[in-house]
A and B are shown apart, each in its own frame.
Chain A
Amino acid sequence: MDTFLNFVVASVLAATPLLFGTLGEILTEKSGHLNLGVEGMMFMGGVAGLAGTYYYEQAISEPNKFVAAFIGVFCAFLCAMFGALIYSFLTITLRANQNVTGLALTTFGTGFGNFFGEILGTAAGGYVSVGTVIKAAFDEGIPVLKDIPIIGKLLFGYNFMVYAAVALAILLSWFLSKTKTGLNLRAVGESPATADAAGIPVTLYKYVATCIGGGICGLGGLYIVMNSANGTGGVWVHNSISGYGWLAVAIVIFATWNPIKAIVCSLVIGSLSILPYYYPISFIPSAIYEIFPYLATVAVLIMIIFRKKKNNLPPASLGLAYFREER
Chain B
Amino acid sequence: METAAIQLKNLTKTFGSVVANDKVNLEIRHGEILALLGENGSGKTTLMNMLSGIYYPDGGEIFVNGKEVIIDSPSDAFDLGIGMIHQHFKLVEVLTAAENMVLGIKEKGRLNIKAIGEKMRAICEQYGFNIDPDKKIYDMSVSEKQTVEIVKMLYRGAEILILDEPTAVLTPQETEKLFAVLRNMRKDGKAVVIITHKLNEVMELSDRVSVLRKGVHVGDLITAETNPQELTNLMVGRSITLNIERTQCENPVKRLEIRNLSCVNDDGVTVLDNINFDAFGGEVLGIAGISGCGQKELLEGIAGLQKVSGSIIFYPVDGSEPQNINGKSPMDIIKHGISLSFVPEDRLGMGLIGNMDLADNMMLRSYNKGKLPFVDKKTPAELAEKVVDELEVVTPGINVPVRNLSGGNVQKILVGREIASQPTVLMSAYAVRGLDINTSYTIYNLMNEQKKRGAAVIYVGEDLDVLVELCDRILVLCGGKVSGIVDGRTTSKEEVGLLMTSHGGKKGGY
Contacts and interface: CB of A to CB of B under 8 A. Distances in A.
Interface of A: 178-180, 183-184, 186-187, 190-191, 193-201, 310-311, 313, 316, 324-325, 327
Interface residues of B, number: 29
B56 A325 contact: yes
Contacts of B138: 310
Nearest to B85: A197
A97 to B, nearest CB: 15
Contacts of A178: 111
A197 B111 contact: no
A198 B95 contact: no
A194 B136 CA distance: 16
Contact of A191 (B73, B92, B403): B92
6 contacts: A184-B103, A186-B94, A195-B92, A198-B104, A199-B75, A313-B94
Contacts of A180: 102, 105, 110-111
A196 B94 contact: no
A49 B110 CA distance: 36
A195 B55 contact: no
Contacts of A316: 93-94
A183 B55 contact: no
A183 B93 contact: no
Contacts of A311: 94
B111 A183 contact: yes
A253 B403 CA distance: 31
3 nearest A-B pairs in the assembled complex, by CB-CB distance: A198-B104, A199-B75, A199-B104
A199 B78 contact: yes
Interface in B91-108: 91-95, 99, 102-106
A136 B73 CA distance: 52
A325 B54 contact: yes
Contacts of A201: 73, 75
A171 B92 CA distance: 23
B74 A199 contact: yes
Given A199-B104, A327-B403, A310 B93 contact: yes
* Secondary structure dominating the interface of B: loop
Contacts of A196: 54, 73-74
Which of B94, B99, B138 is most buried by chain A, counting CB atoms within 10 A of its CB?
A: B94
B506 interface: no
Given A179-B111, A180-B102, A197 B95 contact: no
B307 interface: no
A194 B88 CA distance: 10
B86 interface: yes
Contact of B99 (A183, A191, A310): A183
B90 interface: yes
B223 interface: no
A209 to B, nearest CB: 16
Contacts of B95: 183, 186-187, 190
Which of A178, A180, A183, A316 is most buried by chain B, counting CB atoms within 10 A of its CB?
A: A180
Given A197-B86, A201-B75, A310 B94 contact: yes
A276 to B, nearest CB: 39
Contacts of B93: 190-191, 310, 316
Contacts of B54: 196-197, 324-325
A324 B76 CA distance: 14
A159 to B, nearest CB: 34
Contact of B90 (A183, A197, A325, A327): A197
Contacts of B91: 191, 194
Contacts of A186: 92, 94-95
A200 B94 contact: no
B40 interface: no
B414 to A, nearest CB: 17
Given A191-B91, A195-B92, A197-B86, 20 more contacts: A179-B110, A180-B102, A183-B95, A183-B103, A184-B103, A186-B95, A194-B90, A194-B92, A197-B52, A198-B74, A199-B73, A199-B75, A199-B77, A200-B104, A201-B75, A310-B94, A316-B93, A324-B54, A325-B56, A327-B404
Which of B75, B138, B403 is most buried by chain A, counting CB atoms within 10 A of its CB?
A: B75
Contacts of B52: 197
A180 to B, nearest CB: 5
A311 B139 CA distance: 12
Contacts of A184: 103-104
Contacts of A324: 54-55
Nearest to A312: B94
A187 B75 contact: no
Contacts of B94: 186, 190, 310-311, 313, 316
Contacts of B111: 178-180, 183
Nearest to A182: B111
Contacts of B77: 199
A187 B92 contact: yes
